[in-house]
C-alpha cells in the first residue's frame, strides 16, 4: 500500500493527541496524589478539595492504581 503525505499527517496528529492525553492523565494522577497527601489521606476531604464526588475520586484511584 502506498503511504501518502496525508496518512503521515493524520498519524502524527493522532500521536500528538495521544501524547497530550497521556500528559493530562499523568498530571491528573500527580494532582490526586498531592491532594490526598494534603488531605492527610482522607478521601472525603480530598474529593472536596478536588471539587469532585467521592465516587469519582474512587474511580480515579482505581484507574491510576493509587492506594
**What confidence tens digit (pLDDT) does each residue in 49-65 have?**
999 999 999 999 999 99
Instruction: Rounding to the nearest 10 degrees, give the CA dihedral for residues 16, 19, 20, 26.
Output: 180
Average pLDDT value for the chain:
92
The average pLDDT across 14-38 equals 95
- Asked if pLDDT for residue 9 goes beyond 90, the answer is no
pLDDT in the model for residue 1: 64
- Comparing 54 with 16, which gets the higher pLDDT? 54
The average pLDDT across 32-43 equals 97
The average pLDDT across 33-38 equals 98
3-state secondary structure of 10: helix
Nearest to 25 by CA among 64, 67, 56, 66: 64
Is 62 within 8 Å of 51 (Cβ atoms)?
no
Q: How far from chain centre, in Å, is Cα 34?
A: 14
Amino acid at each position: 500500500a502506498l503511504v501518502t503525505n496525508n496518512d503521515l499527517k493524520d498519524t502524527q496528529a493522532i500521536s500528538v493527541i495521544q501524547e497530550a492525553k497521556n500528559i493530562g492523565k499523568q498530571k491528573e494522577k500527580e494532582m490526586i496524589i498531592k491532594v490526598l497527601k494534603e488531605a492527610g489521606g482522607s478521601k472525603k476531604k480530598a474529593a472536596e478539595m478536588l471539587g469532585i464526588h467521592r465516587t469519582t475520586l474512587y474511580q480515579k484511584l482505581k484507574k491510576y492504581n493509587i492506594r
